[in-house]
Amino acid sequence: MNKQLKRVSMVIFVMFLALMTSSTIIQVGAADELRADPRNTRTRYASFDVERGAILVGGQAVAQSVPTDDEFKFTREYPQGPLYSAITGYYTLNQGMTGIESALNAELSGTSNSQFIDKLTRIITGQKPQGDSVELTINPVVQQAAWDALGDMTGAVVAMDPSTGKILALVSKPTFDPNSLTGNDDKQIIETYNSLLNDPTDPLINRAINGGNHPGSTFKLVTTTSALESGDYTPQSTFPNTGQYQLPQSSSIVRNSWLGTCGPGATTTLATGLMSSCNTPFAQLGVELGSEALADTAESFGFDTELNIPLPVTPGFIPRVQNAPQTALSAIGQQDVMATPLQMAMVSMAIANDGQLMKPQLVDSVVNSDNLATVSEFKPEVFSTPMSAETAEEITQMMISVVSNAAGSATTARIDGVNVAGKTGTAENGTLTDGTDKPYTLWFTGFAPAESPKVVVGVVVENGGGMGLEGTSEGIAAPIGKKVIEAVLNQ
């Protein structure tokens, strides 16, 4: 009988082997696929079961989870709504997530690798799962100032600490209220989302880091850097001062925006060109430098480079190979050149920080929600070194004159008792069907105090600030930058 018994034992063993295999396949092999099945309500429940960590600004929550009475236990709440929506993004049940909610989802939901031990401890002790909180680098006063300064205009503002790369303010308008995308009513959320998506003012686009605008004259900072770093130019290098420049191999003519010359005299200097934002010397300079050199310099400022702050940033763009007339227009930030306010603020940051560009960063630290212990902390990181300290100093002096000199283009950014370094830009966007120009894109970037910079800003205002062709960068963009700089300096 024992022979049969052995065989029966083997059969039992095989039966158990089959069960172990099938449960391993379900719980490990196919688990991700099963979790992703839209009919799997557990996945949705689970994401709302966790008390998601908060997103903090100066210790105050700008996104937090609050208990609900329904089956989902928690819902997301954004106490300051639109003020921080460009940073926090939204977090929905079925419509995905954006912003920090998405970029740091693993930390906020408590599923990152660093929280593994934490999770184990919770399983053993039976505690409720809880995600970590994320402290942002944002300064709430500066954020509010940037928000207020931008008013009802379409545009974006970025402010950073040039010595660390910490982002102090990040505003994009028009925007949305992330509270309108929370709650557990799928149908209503989808409706709201679709109406935001179809809104012609594009409130879902983060213009501070994902917009697409010609940088206009603010790009002349890049061209200037390229010239000075080549060793062939100084701020005193001269260019013919004819008030117009005919593009090589073309009948097109580049003029200064006021249709006059670049200061008095038969020749003008690089310094004067930057101060008054003349187009003619920079178009010539661009042709002399060549598109490759211009692209190299732009790349050292972060153009064409993937960047996560940790929100994914749309990199600035400049074509590497261009013919001479295209290069001339690129040198003054037109043609195919594109940039975001963050990108242009990065250009100023390198100049402000003695030639060293710090990596922009939006997250200061990840904090354990239970005991407030720091899980991970932001450390300043050098992104690149686009220029020498001497070049940085020379450009700084030129940028100071842009603001302080009566002939400068950004005199509206002056602050009493402080040297502000700045640069404006007014980008053309082509013509309307009736032949008139489309409203300009208005720019300002700069930093202060020029001697030991505490803040660097990047401002863009689309559509002429709502004033049609009357809107100028000096009248609209520079004062916004000034208010943001003041907010930092007044602290």
Partner 1 sequence: MAKSNVSEVDAAPSSRSSSDKNPRKLRNLELILILFACAINAAAIVLVQWGAVGTLDGQTVLLIGGLSVLVLCLHVAVRFFARDADPLIIPVAALLNGIGIAEIYRIDLAVGLTGWQATSTRQIAWTGMAIISAIIIIVVIRNHRVLLRYTYIFGLVAVVLLLLPLVPGLGDIKGGAQVWISLGDFMSFQPGEIAKIALAIFFAGYLVRNRDSLSMVGKRFLGMSFPRVRDLGPILVFWLLAMSVLVFQRDLGTSLLYFGLFLVMIYVATGRASWILIGLGLFGAGALLAGQQLEYVANRFQNWLNPFDQAVYDQYPGGSLQLVQGLFGMANGGMTGTGLGQGRPEITPLSQSDYIVPSIGEELGLAGMFVLFALYLILIGRGLRIGFAGRDDFGKLLATGLAFVIALQIFIVIGGVTRVIPLTGLTAPFLAAGGSSLLSNWIIVALFIRLSDTIRNQPKLVIE
Which one, 27 or 234, has the nearer CB to partner 1? Answer: 27
Could you say whether residue 255 binds partner 1 (CB under 8 A)? no
- Catalytic pick from 112, 172, 180, 217? 217
Q: Which of 31, 66, 197, 432 binds partner 1 (CB under 8 A)?
A: 31
Binders of partner 1: how many residues, by CB under 8 A?
Answer: 42
Burial 134-157 (b: 16+ CB within 10 A, else e): bbbbbbbebbebbbebbeebbbbb
Stretch that binds partner 1, among 14-22, 167-175, 288-296, 396-404 (CB under 8 A): 14-22
What is the nearest approach in angstroms of partner 1 to the Cβ of residue 53? 18
How many whole angstroms from its chain centre is CA 353?
19
Residue 138-167 contact track with partner 1, rule CB under 8 A, x = bound: ------------------------------
Q: Active site includes 217?
A: yes
Q: Are strands 382-384 and 312-313 parallel, antiparallel or unpaired?
A: unpaired
Token pair belonging to 384: 């690149």
Number of C-alpha atoms within 13 angstroms, CB side, residue 368? 12
Radius of gyration of the chain (CA): 27
What is the nearest approach in angstroms of partner 1 to the Cβ of residue 6? 8
Could you say whether residue 258 binds partner 1 (CB under 8 A)? no
In whole angstroms, what is the distance from residue 177 CA to residue 90 CA? 9
What is the nearest approach in angstroms of partner 1 to the Cβ of residue 45? 5
Q: Starting at the earlier edge strand, list the strands of the sheet with 441-448.
A: 167-173, 155-160, 455-461, 441-448, 421-427
Instruction: Using the structure block, give the residue that is written with the tokens 């001479």.
Output: 324
In whole angstroms, what is the distance from residue 356 CA to residue 475 CA? 31
What is the nearest approach in angstroms of partner 1 to the Cβ of residue 3? 7
Minimal CA–CA distance to 136: which of 409, 371, 360?
360
Transcribe 124-154 into DSSP letters: HHTPPPBPPEEEES--HHHHHHHHHHHTTSS
Which one, 48 or 147, has the nearer CB to partner 1? Answer: 48
Could you say whether residue 113 binds partner 1 (CB under 8 A)? no
Q: Which of 77, 95, 102, 122 binds partner 1 (CB under 8 A)?
A: 122
Could you say whether residue 129 binds partner 1 (CB under 8 A)? yes
Stretch that binds partner 1, among 10-18, 60-68, 450-458, 478-486 (CB under 8 A): 10-18
Stretch that binds partner 1, among 17-25, 147-155, 377-385, 400-408 (CB under 8 A): 17-25
Q: Which of 35, 68, 382, 468 binds partner 1 (CB under 8 A)?
A: 35
In whole angstroms, what is the distance from residue 70 CA to residue 67 CA? 9
Burial of 371 (0-12, 13-18, 19+ CB in 10 A): exposed
Which one, 12 or 382, has the nearer CB to partner 1? Answer: 12
Could you say whether residue 382 binds partner 1 (CB under 8 A)? no
Could you say whether residue 22 binds partner 1 (CB under 8 A)? yes
Residue list 42-61, contact with partner 1 (CB under 8 A): 42-43, 45-46, 49
Could you say whether residue 437 binds partner 1 (CB under 8 A)? no
Could you say whether residue 320 binds partner 1 (CB under 8 A)? no
Which one, 125 or 433, has the nearer CB to partner 1? Answer: 125
Asked whether 427 and 473 are in contact (CB, 8 A), the reply is no
Q: Which of 15, 253, 382, 389 binds partner 1 (CB under 8 A)?
A: 15
What is the nearest approach in angstroms of partner 1 to the Cβ of residue 125? 8
Could you say whether residue 16 binds partner 1 (CB under 8 A)? yes
End-to-end Cα separation, the chain, in angstroms: 91
In whole angstroms, what is the distance from residue 78 CA to residue 284 CA? 51
- Biggest distance spanned by C-alpha atoms of the chain: 117
Catalytically active residues are: 217
Q: Which residues bind partner 1 (CB under 8 A)?
A: 1-5, 8-9, 11-12, 15-16, 18-20, 22-24, 26-28, 30-31, 33-35, 37, 39-43, 45-46, 49, 120, 122-123, 125-129
